Amino acid sequence: MKKKKYILLNSQYFPNLEYFILIKNYSKILVNINGLYKKRTFRNRCVILDSNGIVNLSVPVITSTNSRILKDIRIDYSENWLKTHLRSLQTSYGKSPFFSYYKDYIFDYLNKRHNFLIDLNHDLLTLICKFLNLKKSFEYIDEKRLKSYDFDDFRNIVDPKFFYSSRKIYTPYQYKHVFGKDFVPNISIMDLLFSEGPNSLEIINNSDSFEIKPI
């Protein structure tokens, strides 16, 4: 199957390694802004590790009967989720080799208190791509304008309801976690960045089993 120039993705919060494999394989990334917000997806949550194992971090959102379109989804600051996320990252990765290098940048972005989920996700994504030295072009686009693009549609592919091995995008390439002897694959990019730092992109490259290869 021949790869197209563009890939269409959903906005995600601190995405997993699969997401970055997809990004690195395309020169142009389209991000859907008009899709319906769905619960129990990676749009507002990510997976990290602590001493007890897997931890799910979720950004609470305000949904409206008037609109469940992703671009309209506001973050709910009535819940103290931000303090929980910052504390969880500190507790989980404070002793990681590269935590102190990235911490201030990431915490500053989180503390901006974005109104909309899609804006938070965008700022974090562009920051992480900068850390990874992934020079990519992101375009946020609605359904009407999609008709003028030729793209591979991966909006609903990277989804927590399905195991990563069914998608043939990512093959685990082990690196050392801070916690535990057993390697946990395909969790948030935060785990990799804090553990491997400048070597993170090499790990992503070695994990790449994407079947549609670059032209």
pLDDT number for residue 40? 85
User: Which range marks the domain in which residue 75 is found?
Assistant: 6-206
The verdict on residue 132 lying in a domain is yes
The verdict on residue 194 lying in a domain is yes
Centre a 10 Å sphere on the Cβ of residue 3 and count the other Cβ atoms it contains: 15
pLDDT number for residue 214? 44
pTM of the model: 0.93
pLDDT number for residue 1? 61
The verdict on residue 211 lying in a domain is no
pLDDT number for residue 10? 94
For residue 116, which phi and psi values (nearest 5 degrees)?
A: -110, 140
Number of domains in the chain: 1
- What token pair was written down for 27? 């020169």
DSSP letter string over the chain?
-PPPSEEEEE--SS-BHHHHHHHHT-SEEEEESSSBP-SSSTTSEEEEEETTEEEEEE--EE--SS--BGGGPEE-TTS-HHHHHHHHHHHHHTTSTTHHHHHHHHHHHHTT--SBHHHHHHHHHHHHHHHHT---EEEEE-HHHHTT--EEE-TTTS-TTS-GGGTSSB-------SS-SS---S-BHHHHHHHHGGGHHHHHHHTB--SS---
The verdict on residue 1 lying in a domain is no
pLDDT number for residue 68? 83
- Low-confidence stretches of the chain (pLDDT < 70) are 1-2, 65-67, 212-215
The verdict on residue 215 lying in a domain is no
Residue 96: burial class (beta carbons within 10 Å; 0-12, 13-18, 19+): buried
The verdict on residue 213 lying in a domain is no
